[in-house]
Structure 1
C-alpha cells in the first residue's frame, strides 16, 4: 500500500507537484487557444518592450547631450577667436594711429624748426644787411667836395637828391643816439650801427624816431627837408667812426663795403 504525504494547510506544495500543475495549466491554455491568441494580438505584443530598448534610448539621449555640449564648446571657441581677432585689429589700429600722429607731430616740429631757422636767418640778414637811405635817388654832392658853403672848407658827407617830405630810411640796423636840432645840420638823426659805426641824416623836415629806439634796415626814420644851413631840400648823409662831428669817413665807400650800390 502506497502512502502519500498529505498536504497540510500550511505546507507548500513540492517542486514536483508545482511542475506538474504548471505543465497541466499550460496544456489547458494551449488547448483553449489562449496562449496563441496572446501571441498573435498586436496590442499585447506592442505592450512588451523589445530587448535593449531602454539602453538604446539612453545611448541616443547621451549622444544628443554630447552633441549639444560639443556645439556649445565650438561656439565658445569661435566667439573667443573672434574677440581675439577684434582685439588684435584694434591694437593694430591704435598702433597705426599712434605712428601717424607721431609722424604728423614730427612734420609739424620740423616745420616749426624750419620757420625758426628762417626767422633767425632773417634777423641775421637784417642785422648785417644795408640799403640806400632814399629809394631811387642819386648823389648830387660828393664827399670832400670843397667850398665856402661848409665851415670846414669841405663836404663831410654826401647829398642825396630828395624833395621835401621824401621818406628817409635807416641804412642798417642800430640804435638811435641823437634825434633833434643840430645847428647847421638842422633836424638830424644819428644812429649807432650794429657794426659799431655811426650814420647821420641831416636837414630833415620831420623825425620819426627817438633816442634809444632800435631801428631795422630800411625802416623809415624821417622825412627829408631843407632845415639848417642849406640852399634847397635834400638829404645830407654821413658815415662816422664816432657820434660827433669830425669823425667822418667816406660814406660811398662805407655803403659799398656793405653791399650797397651808390
Structure 2
C-alpha cells in the first residue's frame, strides 16, 4: 500500500489491524475496508478519480432522500489525489455477496430497495432522448445496415408494443450486481448498494438485468407490480444497443424469445403482469 494511502487510512481512523485491501491496477483505485468504514483512494489524474467523486455525490443524494446506502463521511480532493470515506453503519455488514449470495428474503428486499430508489429519486432528466424514439432509431439503423432482418424487426416491434411503456426514464444505479450489494450478516436484508458512479436516467428495468438467474423470481416479487414488463422492455433495449457494437450469432428475436421463455415459469410474478401478452 503506497504511503499516501496509508496516510489516508491513519487520517480517517481506519483500524490498521483489520484492513481488507483491494487494488485495481488498471484504474488505479485503492479500496480499503475496516469494520464499517470504506475508504476509496485514487490519484487525481487516474480514471477512477471521477468515479469516486460521482459516487460520493450520489451517496449525498441518497441520504437526502432518506434511502439506505453507505453514508458519506468525508470527501477530499486536491491536485494529487481524491479520497472518499463511507460508513456501512454496521461493522459486520457484508459488502459483496458474490460468493455467499442472499436468502430468498434478502433477494426480495433487493427488489424492494430498487423499486424504492427508482420511485423516490425524482431528479431532473436533462437528456433530450425519449426512450421509445431512441429505441426505434437504433432498430432502424440496424435494419438499414442489414444486421437485423425485416422479420426480426417486425417481431421486436410487436413485443415492444405489447409491453406497457411509461414513456419516461428513472434514475438507475446502472449495474446492480452481487458484487455491489451491502447486506445484513443474516443475508436476509439488503442494506444498500455501493458504486453509484454510473447512476443515470435509464429505463426502470435496467437495474434488473444483472440479477443472477436463480434470484430473479424473488427480486421481481420484491420489486412489485410491473417488474416483469419493465425487465422485458429493458432486455429489448439492451439487445438492440449491444447489436450495434457486437456481432450476433443468434438473431435478436430468438434471444428475446429465450429470455421471455425463461421468465414465463415464474408465477404468479409474471402471469398477472403479462397475461395479455403471453
Q: TM-score, normalised by structure 2?
A: 0.19
Identify which of structures 1 and 2 has the higher relative contact order when contacts are C-alpha pairs closer than 8 Å and 6+ apart.
Answer: 2
Q: TM-score, normalised by structure 1?
A: 0.20
Structure number with larger C-alpha Rg: 1
